[in-house]
Structure 1
C-alpha cells in the first residue's frame, strides 16, 4: 500500500497523480489521505497498511461514511477508468479540469484521474477555504486552454459562487460543464445556476461507484440502476468497487451478484430518470407514519426565502419522533407558519415540522455533505437557538 498524504496544494495533487498512474499500471495500491484532517491518522490505521492488499486494487478510499465507522472502499483499475471514460463520454469528450475539491475524496481523485487519461494537467484550487476570486484565479489556465473545460464542485461551493457574482461567477459561466456532487443539488440552486448561465450537471454516486455514476438523473453508459422492492437503490456496472478493506462481512452485505445496494431510497421514472428520495436511515417515524426527511427538505427549499434545510427526527413523548427542521434563510427568515403550511400541502400533515429553527449555516462533514448527526445533537442540546 502506498500512502499519499496531501495538503490540498498543486504539489500534492501532482504526487497523487503520479501514484495513480503507477497503480493503474500494476504498481502499489494508493491510499490518499489529508494531512489537514485530524481524523486521517485513525482512518489510516484502520486500513492496516501492513496487511496484504486485496487483489486487483488500485485505490483505497478511506472513509468514515455516515455511520462514523472507518471503511476502506476497494477500487480496481477497471472501475476507476470506466468511471472516468463514461464521464467524458457524457460531458463531451476528454478535456481540461480544475481540481476544486479535496483529492482524498473520490470526487477530487477522479478529477486527477480524468486529467491523467485525457493527457492534460489539471489546475488546482488549494483546499484552504473557498473564495470566489481564488476560484477565478485557479480556473484561468483551464479556461485559456483549447477543448472542453470542466470542474467538479459541491453544492455549497456553487452557492457561494452564485452569491458572490463577479469574477468567480464569470469563471463558472465559462466552463463547459460543472459536475455538482457529494450532496443533493436543490431545485432552487439548479434554477439559480440556469438563470446565471452556469452549466451544471448534478451527479449521484459514491466511493463504491468510483464517483458519480448518474448524471442529471440518467445513468452513465454501462451503469444500471434498479430500486428493489423496498425502493432501495441498487447499482451495477464496471464502475463498482469490489468490496471493503478487510471487511468481508460488509462486502457480503452490500455487494452481491454484480449489484451494489446503496443506503438510499429512490425510484426510476418511465423515461429512465432516477429520482433519489433520501437515505434509508433518514426515515422519521412520527405517530406511526413514516416520513422521508428528504421529502420535507424538498418542500422547504422550494419556498421563497429558504436556501437550505436539514430535517431530522427528535425523540418526542407524544409522537415517538417529532419532525424538526433546521433552515438556512435567504436574508430575512420567512414566516414559520407559511413554511409549515407549504410542507403540509406538499407532503401531508404528518410531515409538517413541529419545530423550525433558523441558522446561519448547516454543519458539514466531508466534501459538502450535511452532518445530520451534528444537526440532531445541536438541536437536542439547544446549541442552536430558535
Structure 2
C-alpha cells in the first residue's frame, strides 16, 4: 500500500467535507477524488503509464496537488520543476530528466511548452494505485548541471505515522514542487485535513488573512517566511497547534520570538531534497532557559542512520534518495550512505547541531531556495572584463543569505548594474547579486581551488 491508497481512503469518506482550497477554488473530498481520477485518465489517454516521466511546472493550486497524485496513481515518475531557474538551466533540467511529457499551468505556461493542466482532465475512471512510483526533485549541482534526486516510496512506517496525526487546517506556504510544500500537502491529505494553498509567491499579508479566514492551526515555514509573519503588524496570536520550520539555518533569537508569540508549538526540522526528515526538534523539548535547545535541530529520525565523518553529516535510510537520475544508485557507490554536505556534531544526548555547510550552495530568497555558485561563477567569466569570479553567501537578517560576488577584472572598469542585469536575464531573479567586491586575486586552497570559506569569513 502506498500513500495514494491512503489518500483515496480519506477522500472516500465524509464526501462533503472540504479537502482543498486555493484561490477561488474550493473542493470537497468527493470533488477532489473525482478530479484526481479525471486527471489520471487524461494522462493515461495521452500514453502515460508506469515508469514514464512527467515533469510538472505548476503553481500552488488544488488542481496541481491532484496532478501530482495522479502521476503517482499511474506509477509514473513525477519530476518537480521549480520556477527559479533561468531559461538555459530550465531547458537543461527538462532534457536531463528524460521525461515523456511536461504539464504546465497557466501561471508558468509562457516559459515552457507542454500540456496545459486545465486541458488534461477526462473521465472519472477509478483505478487501483500502482504499487511503485518515483519522485524526482531538482537540486542543481556544483558541476553547473542540474541534479535530480530520485525517491521511491517509503514503506517503513513513516507514512502510517503521518496518517495517524490529527486532522487540522493546514496552510501551505511554499511551492508544492519544493520539499516543504510537497510534505505539507502529503501530511494534510494523509490525515484528512483541509489543505489551504497560499500563493505561489509568498506574501505575509495573504498569510495573515488566510490564517484568520480559514482558521489555520498548522503550517510549515522556511525561516524568512516566518520572520516576515512575525514582523507583520497583524501577526496571528497563539492559534496554532503545530508550526514546522526548516529549509535553512534558523536564528535562535527568531525561534525564541516565535515560541513567545505562538506558544510551545514550534518544531525545527532538518532535511534536504536528497534526504527527507533527517531530524526534528520537537516543540516540547525546547526550553527557553536553555539556549542550546534553540540551536539544535533535534535527534535524528529513528528510521535513519546518522554518522559524523570528519565533521560532515552522513545519513542512510528509507527517506534518503535512491540516487541522482542518470547516475549509479547510492547502494552501489556508498552502500546507501549520503554525505549531506553539512558540517555538524552530535552531543552526548544524541542531539544534532549544524555548524556550517561544506558545500558552496547559497540559500537565499523568501522561500529559502538554492543558488548554485559554480553555475554563477561559470557564467560571470563569460562577461566582458571579468577574469575570475567567486559567488558566496553573505549573511542577511531577512533572507538568511544574499549573493555576493568577488571579481577579478582585466583592469578596466566594470558596470555592476550591467553584470546584475546579465545574471538575472540568464539565470533568473534568485541569482541576482546584492553586492560586488573587486579584488586583485582570489584566495586559493592548497590544492589550487578558490577558497570560498575564506571569502565568507570576511563577513563575520
Which of the five TM-score ranges fits, normalised by the shorter chain?
0.5 to 0.7
Instruction: Give the structure 2 partner of residue 31 of structure 1.
Output: 79
Partner secondary structure for residue 13 of structure 1: helix
After alignment, is 10-19 or 189-198 more displaced?
10-19
Using the TM superposition, give the Cα deviation of residue 327 of structure 1 relative to its aligned residue in structure 2, in angstroms: 5.1
Q: Does 1:257 align with 2:335?
A: yes
CA distance in 2, matches of 1:214, 1:254: 25
Counterpart selection for 2:308 from 208, 211, 227 = 227
CA distance in 2, matches of 1:373, 1:66: 18
Instruction: Give the structure 2 partner of residue 10 of structure 1.
Output: 62
Using the size of structure 1 for normalisation, the TM-score is: 0.63
Counterpart selection for 1:132 from 204, 223, 236 = 204
Instruction: Give the structure 1 partner of residue 241 of structure 2.
Output: 176
Using the size of structure 2 for normalisation, the TM-score is: 0.54
Using the TM superposition, give the Cα deviation of residue 278 of structure 1 relative to its aligned residue in structure 2, in angstroms: 0.9
Bigger-Rg structure (1/2): 2
The verdict on how the C-alpha distance between 1:150 and 1:66 changes in structure 2, with shifts beyond 3 A counting, is farther
By percentage of residues, which structure has more helix? 1
Using the TM superposition, give the Cα deviation of residue 11 of structure 1 relative to its aligned residue in structure 2, in angstroms: 3.0
CA distance in 1, matches of 2:175, 2:157: 21
Contact 1:264/1:279, CA 8 A, preserved across alignment: yes
Using the TM superposition, give the Cα deviation of residue 239 of structure 1 relative to its aligned residue in structure 2, in angstroms: 1.2
Instruction: Give the structure 1 partner of residue 258 of structure 2.
Output: 193
Contact 1:64/1:70, CA 8 A, preserved across alignment: yes
CA distance in 2, matches of 1:221, 1:93: 21
Instruction: Give the structure 2 partner of residue 208 of structure 1.
Output: 274
Please give the root-mean-square deviation of Cα atoms over the aligned residues, in Å.
Answer: 4.1
CA distance in 1, matches of 2:312, 2:432: 22
After alignment, is 235-244 or 6-15 more displaced?
6-15
Partner secondary structure for residue 190 of structure 1: helix
Using the TM superposition, give the Cα deviation of residue 12 of structure 1 relative to its aligned residue in structure 2, in angstroms: 2.2
Using the TM superposition, give the Cα deviation of residue 200 of structure 1 relative to its aligned residue in structure 2, in angstroms: 1.8
Deviations 1:263-296 (A, max 9, x none): 111110111100011112469xxxxxxxxx9xxx
Using the TM superposition, give the Cα deviation of residue 118 of structure 1 relative to its aligned residue in structure 2, in angstroms: 1.8
The verdict on how the C-alpha distance between 1:6 and 1:329 changes in structure 2, with shifts beyond 3 A counting, is closer
The verdict on how the C-alpha distance between 1:37 and 1:280 changes in structure 2, with shifts beyond 3 A counting, is closer
Unpaired stretches in structure 2, ≥5 consecutive residues:
1-52, 102-130, 282-297, 363-372, 374-391, 399-423, 425-429, 440-458
The verdict on how the C-alpha distance between 1:9 and 1:62 changes in structure 2, with shifts beyond 3 A counting, is same
Unpaired stretches in structure 1, ≥5 consecutive residues:
284-292, 294-311, 313-323, 331-364, 366-370
Counterpart selection for 2:436 from 378, 381, 384 = 378
- Aligned residue pairs total 289
Using the TM superposition, give the Cα deviation of residue 100 of structure 1 relative to its aligned residue in structure 2, in angstroms: 0.8
Q: Map 1:243-322 to 2 at 5 A.
A: 243-248=323-328, 251-252=329-330, 256-281=334-359
Partner secondary structure for residue 78 of structure 1: coil
Q: Does 1:64 align with 2:64?
A: no
Contact 1:263/1:281, CA 8 A, preserved across alignment: yes
Contact 1:254/1:260, CA 8 A, preserved across alignment: no
Partner secondary structure for residue 308 of structure 2: coil
Contact 2:163/2:190, CA 8 A, preserved across alignment: no
Contact 1:17/1:112, CA 8 A, preserved across alignment: no
Using the TM superposition, give the Cα deviation of residue 42 of structure 1 relative to its aligned residue in structure 2, in angstroms: 3.0
CA distance in 1, matches of 2:437, 2:61: 36
